[in-house]
Chains A and B, each alone.
Chain A
Amino acid sequence: SQQGEEDPQALSIQEGENATMNCSYKTSINNLQWYRQNSGRGLVHLILIRSNEREKHSGRLRVTLDTSKKSSSLLITASRAADTASYFCATDARETSGSRLTFGEGTQLTVNP
């Protein structure tokens, strides 16, 4: 299966709750990135975490990376209805470094007002 697999595939929460999405990957990476996509169009970069980093914050976003388990998580705190979107992790694998990102199939997050 594909490098970069998110779970859950779909997540529905109430406004104000926290949302956690997970990503697993298979090969060694240089970095891992999270993107957001609204309405099946262009993706927006959220955060990049390098292989030597364990945690990173950006506003209401918190990303962790565990290279021993080949996994990452994205936490959105105090969610808002506007956070409703698909979230993708993408890896820059060392074996293909400099040529591509490999995207997972995404988590569809729905935040109910």
Chain B
Amino acid sequence: GAGVSQSPSNKVTEKGKDVELRCDPISGHTALYWYRQSLGQGLEFLIYFQGNSAPDKSGLPSDRFSAERTGGSVSTLTIQRTQQEDSAVYLCASSLWGAGETQYFGPGTRLLVL
């Protein structure tokens, strides 16, 4: 498709398990972002990838969170040893060049940690 896609749409996991969330950005977009949104809250920045530059990981809340972007396209956000407070909607966005532009969002992955 032409937009940003994310999978899975919903994920229910048990506390302590690892989860992987996937994002397929719009083809040709060099910048990719991960955000987290807790219920009724705004978006919390997690990580930013831009081309071949080192990612900006300054928003990752703990070392249990990591992300990769392979081949400058698909990105995977991994949460190890999940905790209940990790429950949120994880949103991915891409833009053509960088943050100063319009960001195009995927539908998000709703994560529930029991």
Contact = CB atoms under 8 A, between A and B. Distances in A.
A100 interface: yes
Contacts of A35: 105
Nearest to A40: B89
Nearest to B41: A105
B91 A30 contact: no
Interface string B49-90: 010000010010000000000000000000000000000010
Which of A2, A33, A92, A100 has the largest count of B CB atoms less than 10 A from its CB?
A: A100
B102 A48 contact: yes
Contact of B100 (A30, A42, A104): A30
A35 B35 CA distance: 14
B99 interface: yes
A101 B99 contact: yes
A113 B55 CA distance: 46
Interface in A42-63: 42-45, 48
Contacts of B1: none
A98 B98 contact: yes
B9 to A, nearest CB: 9
B13 to A, nearest CB: 19
A52 to B, nearest CB: 13
Interface of B: 4, 33, 35, 37, 39, 41-43, 45, 48, 50, 56, 59, 89, 91, 93, 98-108
